[in-house]
Amino acid sequence: DTLWDLAIAEVEKRENPDDDGKRVEVWEKSILFMGNKNGGKTTIILRCLERDEIPKPTLALEYTFGRRARRHNTPKDTAHFWELGGGTSLLELIRIPITSNNVRSFAVVLVLDLSKPNELWTTMEKLLQVTRNHVNKTLTKLEKTNPEVATEIKQRMRNNLQRDHPDYELVDPFPIPLVIIGSKYDIFHEFDSEMRKIISKTLRFVSHYYGASLVFTSKSEALLLKVRVLINHLAFGCDKSKSVSVDHSKPLFIPAGLDSLSQIGPPPASDSDIGKMRANTPLELWKKVFEKTFPPKSFCDLQDTKDPAQDLQYAEYEVDVMRAQKNQELEQYKRNASKSWKEMDFDPD
């Protein structure tokens, strides 16, 4: 241990002894929030941490944390909250918070804006695909250095569904705990009932297929409380909620493993339409049915092309002046380099 490690351990021992004066193991978890731009991720994080702050636009990847004691005079558990901004435009940043050192205690929260169904599948697919690929690569590396932990992580996700569950062999669990939150339910509730049914059934299937929990929320305190229950379970190991709501006319609340394909039913389309759709997997079939009703926006349309450096809320006079100067120097350098390159005399031999 380094001197800093010893100092930290000594302070924690003095401040947080248990009844026997022995040090108690501290719970430490990490959660990555991602989803639609302006979908309400920051608001959800602040409510979960019980912080009375006005949400600000998230720039790139932001970090905060929360601490909570399990009981009086015990060490405080720590939860690390990462938030990916920009919708699907900053996918490469996902690899920063998720590492082989913390993947064992990591979870993902995907926030989908229910008021924008035409962006829903594309956003969900891109973010989950990139995250899953990165986690799988991380687990592959971990298998070489700590195979026991890698095996434990994989087995834990399979155990979300009981072996005697009829869908046990039909689902493909996400490699780490996943919660899908449908935000802006207040706007979604005004949609046509058939549209709401298609969106709700589709998200139920996707959540069940990935072994994820699903919850719909809005600014309502009652709905936010249900979200906090799920997040607190991931972050601090609090008890799971055993309540379930699968009524499509009401906000959905389905903890992982408590749904089934038989309850969800087939994709909302006629047999003739389904027969015409070419799909290799159930997930692909649901995608085609969903996108027939809600044609997706292209990936390019979902990219956040705005340059944060030009955003007035981040303006700093000294920094902006220096940046302008460096930009001019860079342009001059490129012109000189281009000129020098053209003047070079290459020997054909």
Domain count of the chain? 1
The mean pLDDT of 271-295, rounded to a whole number, is 86
Q: How many CB atoms lie within 10 A of CB 167?
A: 15
Residue 26's pLDDT band, with cuts at 50, 70 and 90, is low
**Is residue 174 in some structural domain?**
yes
The mean pLDDT of 152-157, rounded to a whole number, is 83
**Is residue 289 in some structural domain?**
yes
**Is residue 127 in some structural domain?**
yes
Q: How far apart are CA 131 and CA 136, in angstroms?
A: 9
Residue 80 in 3-state DSSP?
A: strand
Q: How far apart are CA 86 and CA 59, in angstroms?
A: 7
**Is residue 344 in some structural domain?**
no
Give the domain range for residue 214: 26-293
Find, among 57, 45, 178, the residue nearest to 124 by Cα: 178
Residue 309's pLDDT band, with cuts at 50, 70 and 90, is low
Q: Which residues contact 19 (CB under 8 A, 6 or more apart)?
A: none
* Domain of residue 35, CATH code: 3.40.50.300
**Is residue 123 in some structural domain?**
yes
pLDDT computed for residue 305 by the predictor: 47
Find, among 231, 197, 239, the residue nearest to 70 by Cα: 239
Pair of tokens at residue 269: 């389309």
330 close to 337: Cβ distance less than 8 angstroms: no
Strand ranges across the sheet with 213-216: 61-69, 76-84, 28-35, 106-113, 178-183, 213-216, 253-254
Q: Where are the alpha helices (DSSP H) in 159-190?
A: 185-188
pLDDT surpasses 80 at 289 = yes
Three-class secondary structure assignment of 244-308: CECCCCCCCEECCCCCCHHHHCCCCCCHHHHHHCCCCCHHHHHHHHHHHHCCCCCHHHHCCCCCH
Q: DSSP string spanning 3-64? A: HHHHHHHHHHHHHSB-TTSPBPPPPEEEEEEEESTTSSHHHHHHHHTT---------SEEEE
Q: Answer with the residue of higher pLDDT: 6 or 92.
A: 92
Residue 155 in 3-state DSSP?
A: helix
pLDDT tens for 84-115 read: 988 887 888 889 999 988 888 899 999 999 99
